[in-house]
């Protein structure tokens, strides 16, 4: 498309402004984590490392972090297994109810988090009588993490040539051997990307978590939420927030590099093959 | 791995004597699966379908049922007496009507703002920027926006705070910070959900072949006409996919409302209050049916556009 020079400049400027809008609030959190003023008035009154020291000494933060990592790892493993199976089933076979299952897998992420949260809370507490714990959080997280794995896997499967698997079968490899030696290697990077996004999604989740977590237990987001409104803790929250910004960048950056066919918003916006260029 | 049996179960496929013997790998479970696509499908589908149905669909069904139950006023326990009272209360009480309308208004405003922001930036990244910049810009847009939801809501609390950045920036030009208010909720939610709009739209722009745009230009269409008649129809499913997320995520929010909303109440706030402090799960369930119905209607309306495959 032939855009005039001025149109390009206008679009470029808009993009620049949006990027500023995106980065400015986050930079402010970084700056405030060194701000000597507890109320974060602007401009900052002085520089201090006190909050950083207190954050590193905080046992509550450390425990919440460990819980978060554990929850995210287990839900990622579950969603990797279930998401891959589902993607293979839906991509390879046509069967009655396929569209329903297709809708079912996006439902936990298309419906508001509060619906997922209260539905699971109600099922565990009222219907089943199961006490809320880390495991109820994991079950909840795995349910909506499945879709990121599913999206990444199915996008890759669509681009894979079925000929390779047929050839493998013709050469005498069993179903499992074919998966191990032919299908899985091609899926690997897509699964890694989907898994990383699932991990990030679980690590960050707060709404569903607050409805499914047991009393006295904390993931990192739950810790942040509980300390946000305590004047003495607010500066420490800033530090944790900065660390979270840094941590969350890593999986996204990796997922971005690993996955060519999905930009992966975690909801797997599918990027058409780059052949269009 | 496949179990090995010494005698092949049943006749080997086309097992004439001139064929070489079936390799041992093709026996047992693996062979069974190899022969029967139905079994293969069942093997793939059982676990994930069971999870989705037993965990999620069962939970949604239970939610619907709980909305028809009630809470014993003495014990505070859920009693399984069937009644439409909760649903009637939610539909007829003016407080719930006001909160529902406010929540829908916030969700629509967030969706519109994100659409307006996402279209030019996605277009610039996908179709205007040079190849090297494209990669950089995608990462630049994605990375910070993937930073934690809470961090972003909190960042806006910092921006909006009394004596904070926005007030400091606005004072010289006579603008006031919206403080903690409904406007602040819209602003913050629009910020938080922006990537959920940019990504599908960006993917949509990438799907529009450049040759098609050139053809349109060669046939005399001005950029604006090309945009409207060539690009927009291709983009519609992507845009709708984006709106499903921004709309749905805003509809269920209550944390942002807590952090920057001041006294602003949303549907999520009501649900949360009834599960926690008020301990009235049936009423909370009834309230949560509102966003479910709204989203279901929306999904039903946009189903035919192909948007659901763009999620």
User: Is the CB of A21 inside 8 Å of chain B's CB atoms?
Assistant: yes
Flag if A115 and B291 touch (Cβ within 8 Å): yes
What's the pLDDT score for residue B5?
42
Local structure of A248: helix, strand or coil: helix
Do B200 and B242 contact (CB within 8 A), yes or no?
Answer: yes
What's the pLDDT score for residue A267?
39
Q: pTM for this one? A: 0.82
Query: Could you tell me the pLDDT band of residue A75, with boundaries at 50, 70 and 90?
Result: very high
Chain A: residue whose CA lies nearest to B156 = A25
Please measure the distance between the N-terminal and C-terminal CA atoms of chain B and give it in whole angstroms: 36
Flag if A120 and B55 touch (Cβ within 8 Å): yes
Flag if B128 and A3 touch (Cβ within 8 Å): yes
User: Is the CB of A181 inside 8 Å of chain B's CB atoms?
Assistant: no
Local structure of B78: helix, strand or coil: strand
Interface test with A, best of B34, B147, B152 (most A CBs within 10 A): B147
Render the burial of B248-275: b for 16+ CB within 10 Å, e for the rest: bbbbbbbbbbbbbbeebbbbbbbbbbbb
Local structure of A232: helix, strand or coil: coil
pLDDT in tens, A260-273: 544 444 333 333 32
Strand partners, A47: A35
Q: Provide DSSP, A168-204.
A: HHHTT--HHHHIIIIIHHHHHHHHHHHHHHHHHHHHH
**Beta-carbon count within 10 A of A100 CB:** 12
H/E stretch holding B250:
helix B232-251
What's the pLDDT score for residue A4?
78
Checking A254-259 for CB contacts under 8 A at 24+ apart, the result is A254/A192, A254/A193, A254/A196, A255/A192, A255/A193, A255/A194, A255/A196, A255/A197, A255/A200, A256/B138, A256/B139, A256/B142, A258/A189, A258/A190, A258/A192, A258/A193, A258/A196, A259/A152, A259/A189, A259/A190, A259/A192, A259/A193, A259/A194
User: Is the CB of A186 inside 8 Å of chain B's CB atoms?
Assistant: no
DSSP state of B207: H
Per-residue pLDDT of chain B (311 residues; tens, 9 = 90+): 444 444 444 444 444 445 555 555 546 777 777 777 788 888 888 899 999 999 899 999 998 888 888 777 666 677 777 778 888 888 888 888 999 999 999 999 999 999 999 999 998 888 888 888 888 888 788 776 667 788 888 888 888 887 777 777 777 777 777 778 899 999 999 999 998 898 889 888 888 888 888 888 888 888 778 888 888 888 888 899 899 889 998 998 899 998 888 888 899 888 888 887 667 888 888 998 999 999 888 888 887 776 666 66
Q: For a pLDDT cut of 70, what percent of chain A falls above it?
A: 87
Do A53 and A236 contact (CB within 8 A), yes or no?
Answer: no
CA distance B128 to chain A (A): 7
Interface test with B, best of A118, A121, A136, A212 (most B CBs within 10 A): A118
Least Cα distance to B185 among B142, B153, B217 occurs for B153
CA distance B302 to chain A (A): 13
What's the pLDDT score for residue A96?
85
CA atoms of A205 and A68, how far apart (whole Å): 10
Q: Provide DSSP, A12-67.
A: HHHHHHHHHHHHHHHHHHHHHTTBS-TT--SS---B--HHHHHHHH-HHHHHHHHH
Flag if B1 and A176 touch (Cβ within 8 Å): yes
Flag if B151 and A107 touch (Cβ within 8 Å): no
Do B39 and B32 contact (CB within 8 A), yes or no?
Answer: yes
Please measure the distance between the N-terminal and C-terminal CA atoms of chain A and give it in whole angstroms: 13
Using CB atoms within 10 Å of the CB of residue B226, give its burial: 0 to 12 exposed, 13 to 18 middle, 19+ buried. Answer: buried
């Amino acid at each position: 498309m032939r855009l005039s020079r001025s149109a390009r400049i206008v679009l470029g400027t808009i993009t620049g402004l949006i990027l500023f809008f995106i980065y400015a609030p986050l930079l402010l959190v970084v700056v405030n984590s060194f701000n000597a003023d507890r109320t974060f008035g602007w401009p900052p009154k002085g520089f201090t490392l006190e909050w950083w020291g207190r954050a590193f000494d905080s046992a509550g933060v450390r425990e919440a972090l460990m819980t978060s990592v554990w929850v995210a790892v287990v839900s990622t493993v579950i969603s990797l297994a279930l998401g891959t199976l589902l993607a293979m089933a839906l991509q390879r076979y046509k069967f009655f109810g396929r569209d329903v299952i297709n809708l079912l897998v996006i439902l936990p992420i298309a419906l508001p988090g509060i619906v997922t949260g209260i539905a699971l809370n109600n099922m565990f507490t009222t219907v089943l009588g199961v006490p809320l714990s880390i495991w109820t959080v994991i079950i909840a997280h795995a349910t909506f993490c499945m879709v990121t794995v599913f999206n990444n896997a199915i996008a890759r499967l669509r681009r894979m040539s079925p000929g390779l698997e047929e050839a493998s079968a013709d050469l005498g490899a069993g179903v499992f051997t074919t998966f191990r030696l032919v299908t899985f290697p091609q899926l690997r990077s897509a699964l890694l990307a989907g898994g990383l996004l699932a991990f990030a999604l679980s690590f960050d989740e707060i709404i569903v978590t607050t409805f499914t977590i047991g009393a006295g237990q904390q993931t990192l987001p739950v810790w942040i939420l509980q300390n946000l409104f305590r004047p003495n803790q607010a500066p420490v929250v800033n530090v944790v927030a900065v660390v979270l910004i840094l941590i969350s960048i890593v999986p996204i950056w990796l997922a971005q590099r690993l996955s060519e066919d999905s930009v992966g918003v975690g909801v797997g916006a599918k990027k058409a093959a780059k052949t269009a260029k | 791995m496949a179990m090995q049996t010494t005698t092949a179960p049943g006749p080997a496929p086309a097992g004439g004597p001139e064929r070489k013997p079936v390799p041992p790998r093709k026996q047992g479970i693996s062979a069974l699966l190899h022969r029967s696509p139905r079994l293969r499908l069942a093997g793939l589908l059982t676990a994930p379908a069971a999870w989705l149905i037993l965990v999620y669909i069962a939970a949604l069904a239970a939610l619907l049922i709980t909305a028809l139950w009630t809470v014993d006023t003495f014990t505070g326990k859920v009693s399984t007496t069937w009644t439409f009272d909760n649903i009637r209360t939610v539909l007829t009480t003016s407080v719930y009507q006001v909160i529902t309308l406010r929540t829908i208004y916030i969700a629509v405003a967030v969706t519109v703002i994100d659409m307006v922001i996402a279209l030019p930036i996605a277009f610039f990244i996908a179709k205007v920027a040079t190849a090297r910049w494209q990669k950089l810009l995608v990462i630049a847009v994605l990375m910070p926006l993937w930073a934690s939801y809470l961090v972003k809501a909190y960042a806006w609390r910092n921006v909006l705070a009394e004596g904070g950045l926005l007030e400091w920036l606005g004072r010289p030009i006579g603008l006031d910070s919206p403080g903690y208010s409904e406007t602040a909720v819209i602003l913050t939610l629009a910020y938080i959900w922006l990537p959920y709009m940019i990504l599908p739209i960006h993917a949509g722009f990438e799907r529009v072949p450049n040759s098609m745009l050139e053809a349109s230009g060669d046939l005399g269409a001005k950029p604006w006409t090309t945009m409207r008649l060539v690009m927009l129809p291709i983009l519609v499913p992507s845009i709708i996919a984006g709106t499903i997320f921004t709309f749905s995520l805003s509809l269920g929010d209550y944390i942002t409302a807590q952090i920057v909303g001041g006294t602003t109440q949303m549907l999520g706030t009501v649900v949360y209050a009834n599960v926690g402090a008020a301990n009235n799960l049936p009423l909370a369930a009834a309230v949560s049916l509102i966003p479910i119905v709204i989203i279901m209607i929306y999904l039903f309306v946009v189903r035919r556009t192909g948007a659901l495959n763009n999620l």
